[in-house]
Chain A
Amino acid sequence: AQSVTQLGSHVSVSEGALVLLRCNYSSSVPPYLFWYVQYPNQGLQLLLKYTTGATLVKGINGFEAEFKKSETSFHLTKPSAHMSDAAEYFCAVRSLYAGGTSYGKLTFGQGTILTVHP
């Protein structure tokens, strides 16, 4: 079974500082990997995803993530935090296998709330 661990339920940074949100996954084979952001009373917005190819993935709003197979990690970074980045961030995985118990199923981490201080 797949699982996702997000280290740190709360992360606080100053505006302009580096943002680093950690995600480790457990899977028998490298899965598809996603980062989503959720603002209060909203749904989930896709920031970026890794499927195949380049391991450094760039997303929206200046975020990027690097897939490291040897570390089973997919950490999210942004060089300079902005006040508008304050939100909850979710890492998710989906099996490469298309069928059976994988249909439509993303497995999410517990989320990390990012606070940005002026």
Chain B
Amino acid sequence: KAGVTQTPRYLIKTRGQQVTLSCSPISGHRSVSWYQQTPGQGLQFLFEYFSETQRNKGNFPGRFSGRQFSNSRSEMNVSTLELGDSALYLCASSRWVDGYTFGSGTRLTVV
């Protein structure tokens, strides 16, 4: 059974650019959540999508956005990158509220 796939694994971007990260959930999982992990702030919830609808959003600026496609794959976009956006971005998929499977993450470095 394939796990959660995140691409790319590593990214280096310049301040002011934008970036798109991709997450393919486990087959049959319709919920996809995104998290940002940094040494200073730890793991913070970005947003959650279910059946192409954003149902929940964390406390992040509008530069952070996402979407979900009909096959449940999800993308997140960060516009006008700042140095502080450097982080490991994790996505998790779930079928029920009691189980979340995480991908290996995308390591974003902003220079």
Contacts and interface: CB of A to CB of B under 8 A. Distances in A.
Contact of A34 (B32, B45, B50, B100): B100
A45 B48 CA distance: 19
B45 A106 contact: yes
B16 interface: no
Taking each of A45, A90, A104, which has the highest tally of chain B beta carbons within 10 Å of its own beta carbon?
A: A104
A43 B58 contact: no
B98 A104 contact: no
A24 to B, nearest CB: 16
Given A41-B107, A51-B98, A103 B42 contact: no
A108 interface: yes
A99 to B, nearest CB: 8
Which of B32, B49, B105, B107 has the most A CB atoms < 10 Å from its CB?
Answer: B105
A107 B56 CA distance: 13
A100 interface: yes
Task: For chain B, give the interface size range.
Answer: 20 to 34
A108 B43 contact: yes
B75 to A, nearest CB: 16
Please report whether the interface of chain A is mostly helix, strand, loop or mixed according to DSSP. mixed
Interface string B27-64: 00001110100000011010111100001101000000
Contacts of B107: 41
Interface string B1-30: 000101000000000000000000000000
B54 to A, nearest CB: 9
Interface of B: 4, 6, 31-33, 35, 42-43, 45, 47-50, 55-56, 58, 90, 92, 94, 97-105, 107
Going nearest first, the 5 A-B pairs with the smallest beta carbon separation are A104-B48, A104-B33, A103-B56, A103-B55, A108-B43
Given A103-B55, A106-B43, 20 more contacts: A32-B98, A36-B102, A43-B104, A44-B92, A46-B100, A46-B102, A49-B99, A90-B43, A102-B56, A103-B31, A103-B48, A103-B50, A104-B31, A104-B33, A104-B92, A105-B33, A106-B33, A106-B92, A108-B43, A110-B42
